[in-house]
Structure 1
Amino acid sequence: MADEKSIKIAVIDDELDTLSVLERLLGRESEFEVRVYSNPENGLDEVKGGNFDLVLLDIVMSQMDGIEVLKEIRAVNGKTKIIMISAYATLDRVLKSHQYGADDFILKPFKSVAKIIDKIKNILDVQQK
């Protein structure tokens, strides 16, 4: 179980609006420490260090394919939970995400931040008070 006071979440997405929304809304949760990366290579370097409990990772980014980022994270870090996010969800992308070790998949645009928070807490097995 993750420490309830310090759940470290990385959000890797090249869409600045998505980063801003997730940083603001997830940051409202007292136990979440959120860091955002618009450059997937920078986010990848940080996540490979093993400092995060969970990564929200976009699949389609202009600088680097999200599936490739996922594969690189999994090559060195099997513990960090990864939720793929995409506005361009095809069955092939969803299947590849799971094949390469993603824990879940969320469609953009996000309809409910509460559901994202619940999904994060469930994946990390955070006990609700």
Structure 2
Amino acid sequence: MKTPIKPTFFPACYRTKNTNLEIDDILINGAETSHTVASIMLQFAGYMRCNPIYLIGIDLNYKNDKKYFTNDYHPIGTKQYEPEKIDFFTNEMITGIQRVTNSLHSKGITIYNCSKQSLLNENGITEYYDINDI
């Protein structure tokens, strides 16, 4: 007989947007997914009390039909989403990451973004930090 698995062991479950985001309850209420693993990893780093947190490679700039860091995930030219849907997902990512960073900041956790041309910086969610200064 299999042991039943409690959903609290899977923090990547979807959290409803109207739920207050508290980093300390990630194992109970799940993680803010925001269509990006970056949001989930930020929450895990906050849960582990990493401070500061350095973001690398989160620019959210999808150019030339490239949406992933590797070409074999969806080869260039493979149409996955219409441009307006990419804008929708990007906005969802930005909004979700903002909710996460707000929660982290409320816990006194500092976040540095080492991606110079990031939409997170442009939207005032993070500030650029030169990785060479670490």
Tell me the TM-score normalised to structure 1 length. Answer: 0.28
Structure with bigger gyration radius? 2
Structure number with the higher strand fraction is 1
Tell me the TM-score normalised to structure 2 length. Answer: 0.27
